[in-house]
């Protein structure tokens, strides 16, 4: 008879093949995460080389739109045909897109190549988390998913720096081509160490449902990214939401009748699933949806260069890594996870309110401390939500559930970029209206909302301090808005069912 301690040891010690697959998928995740960060510092050079700066934003938006549209497909196809083939396809398509990006001859061709790259990138994240869900028992997932945060932290630190150096010494094309040796090595390893798990059954791929979901997602993400811009057309403001509503309505109708729906509607019978998806949307709004504006705010406030501001974000990466690993290990021992998103979102609320105390003369250590607290709040939430849905979903639906959470976070990031930007513009326009005329006339067209760090830096010292104080007052509205999103998340986290993860999946 097996003792409890022997049972625990057996569960806690994955075999060498399992660990080889695990390390391989971490490499895949690192490649995808690095690609999102490495391009940031190279974009000005790319736009200058290829011309047509007006298309600058689409280099990122094309990738975001595509990954959001295809991530549910990968999750479901992995459930049906096995993770090995879907991950290999995702990596291969991602590499083809990387090669096409490196060979781009115009901004239009680069945007098209980023779409191809996104078709593969959308499958990398979903497949990785789904594979971890397959490889490990429920409590083990908490521990090993906690380590995945190290990948994001490392990529977020190395990405912008590597992008700058590669662009300076090798040329911007190599920020994409560097994926090729990594990806080819990864494909070779996956082909050898990962076992295929196709059950041999004939499956009915829900193409209609997948296309409808892709249409709804793309329309929503595009609307989020562009409708709040001053130059956006009224037809898009009205037409895109109508497309979203109609596509979702048709999607639900199709899913009810589909033999193997792309997202089984039975998943939404779970309170955990519903709350986790909403929390993922809010999580995207308070992380990636705020990241860009936080970087702009800190650079404006401090006058530091982009590279120097990057160092102030390092505490966020380190804290996120530490808290995620700590949470994963505690959940692995106790089987309980509900407390962590509650603490994380509450900490995020408090941190956003502390950001209100920042000013033009705040010490760097205080900014770094707040960044660390923000990162800690994220580390307590991100991987726990994936763990919650994977535990709530039937084992045959783990991929679909993981894809749903990933989709929610992507949509949240897009909504966050739009809404946080709208709040910032509205608040700064209000400050512009009461800004002393002598300063207002020295700012670019659009006033404080359109000002870049160098615009304020060029002002005389007294005027600069006054302008920064007005800017700081206006930007406070963004932190209050995000604090409200964190507070709502705290309430939803409290409503999560109290669950104890079993040592083994049922």
Query: Each residue of 75-103: pLDDT tens digit?
Result: 777 777 778 888 899 999 999 999 999 89
Instruction: Taking residues 264-292, report their average pLDDT.
Output: 85
Q: In the structure encoding, which two tokens stand for residue 247, read together?
A: 């596509």
- Domain range for 349 is 267-506
Confidence (pLDDT) at 199: 57
Instruction: Taking residues 142-169, report their average pLDDT.
Output: 74
Residue 133 and residue 213 in one domain: no
Using the 8-state DSSP alphabet, how is residue 398 labeled?
H
pLDDT, tens only, 19-53: 888 888 888 888 887 877 777 667 667 777 777 65
Residue 414 and residue 494 in one domain: yes
CATH of the domain at 58: 1.20.1250.20
Residue 174 and residue 278 in one domain: no
Computed on alpha carbons and rounded to an integer, the radius of gyration of the chain in Å comes to 23
Confidence (pLDDT) at 4: 35
Confidence (pLDDT) at 7: 30
Query: Is 359 among the domain residues?
Result: yes
pLDDT band at 486 (very low <50, low <70, confident <90, very high): very high
Residue 447 and residue 306 in one domain: yes
Instruction: Taking residues 177-187, report their average pLDDT.
Output: 89
Domain count, the chain: 3
Residues 6+ apart with CB under 8 A from 191: 88
Position 249 pLDDT exceeds 80: yes
Position 5 pLDDT exceeds 50: no
CB 376 within 8 A of CB 320: yes
Residue 215 and residue 300 in one domain: no
Residue 318 and residue 373 in one domain: yes
- What's the pTM? 0.79
382-392 vs 271-286: helix axis angle to the nearest 10?
160
Confidence (pLDDT) at 9: 39
Unique residue bearing structure tokens 């084992």? 395
Residue 113 and residue 159 in one domain: yes
CA distances from 177 to 44, 93, 105, 116, 166 (A): 18, 14, 15, 14, 11
């Amino acid at each position: 008879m097996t003792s409890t301690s022997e049972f625990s040891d057996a569960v806690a010690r994955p075999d060498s093949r399992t660990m080889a697959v695990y390390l391989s998928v971490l490499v895949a995740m690192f490649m995808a995460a690095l690609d999102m960060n490495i391009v940031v510092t190279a974009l000005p050079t790319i736009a200058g080389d290829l011309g047509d700066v007006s298309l600058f934003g689409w280099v990122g938006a094309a990738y975001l739109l595509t990954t959001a549209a295809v991530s549910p497909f990968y999750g479901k196809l992995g459930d049906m045909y096995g993770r090995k083939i879907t991950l290999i396809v995702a990596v291969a398509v991602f590499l083809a897109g990387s090669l096409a990006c490196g060979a781009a001859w115009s901004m239009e061709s680069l945007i098209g190549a980023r779409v191809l790259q996104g078709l593969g990138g959308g499958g990398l994240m979903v497949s990785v988390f789904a594979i971890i869900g397959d490889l490990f028992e429920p409590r083990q997932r908490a521990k090993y998913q906690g380590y995945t945060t190290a990948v994001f932290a490392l990529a977020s630190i190395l990405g912008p720096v590597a992008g700058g150096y590669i662009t300076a010494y090798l040329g911007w094309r190599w920020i994409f081509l560097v994926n090729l040796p990594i990806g080819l090595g990864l494909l070779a390893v996956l082909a050898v160490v990962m076992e295929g798990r196709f059950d041999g059954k004939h499956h009915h791929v829900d193409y209609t449902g997948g296309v409808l979901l892709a249409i709804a997602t793309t329309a929503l993400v595009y609307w989020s990214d562009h409708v709040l811009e001053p130059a956006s057309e009224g037809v898009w403001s009205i037409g895109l939401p109508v497309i979203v509503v109609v596509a979702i309505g048709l999607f639900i109708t199709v899913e009810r009748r589909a033999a193997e729906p792309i997202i089984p509607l039975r998943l939404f019978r779970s309170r955990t699933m519903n709350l986790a998806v909403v929390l993922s949307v809010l999580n995207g709004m308070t992380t990636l949806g705020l990241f860009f504006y936080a970087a702009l705010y800190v650079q404006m406030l401090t006058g530091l260069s982009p590279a120097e501001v990057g160092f102030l974000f390092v505490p966020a990466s380190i804290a996120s890594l530490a808290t995620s690993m700590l949470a994963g290990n505690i959940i692995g021992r106790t089987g309980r996870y509900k407390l962590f998103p509650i603490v994380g979102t509450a900490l995020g609320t408090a941190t956003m309110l502390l950001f209100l105390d920042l000013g033009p003369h705040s010490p760097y250590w205080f900014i770094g401390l707040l960044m660390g607290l923000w990162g800690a709040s994220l580390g307590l939430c991100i991987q726990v939500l994936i763990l919650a849905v994977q535990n709530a979903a039937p084992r045959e639906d783990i991929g679909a559930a993981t894809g749903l959470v990933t989709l929610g976070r992507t949509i949240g990031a897009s909504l966050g970029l739009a809404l946080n930007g709208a709040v910032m513009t509205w608040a700064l326009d209000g400050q512009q209206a009461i800004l002393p005329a002598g300063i207002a006339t020295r700012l670019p067209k659009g006033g404080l909302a359109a000002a870049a760090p160098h615009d304020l830096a060029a002002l005389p010292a007294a005027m600069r301090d006054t302008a920064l104080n007005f800017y700081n007052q206006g930007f406070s509205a963004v932190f209050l808005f995000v604090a409200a999103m964190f507070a709502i998340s705290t309430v939803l986290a409290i409503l999560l069912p109290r669950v104890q993860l079993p040592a083994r999946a049922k």
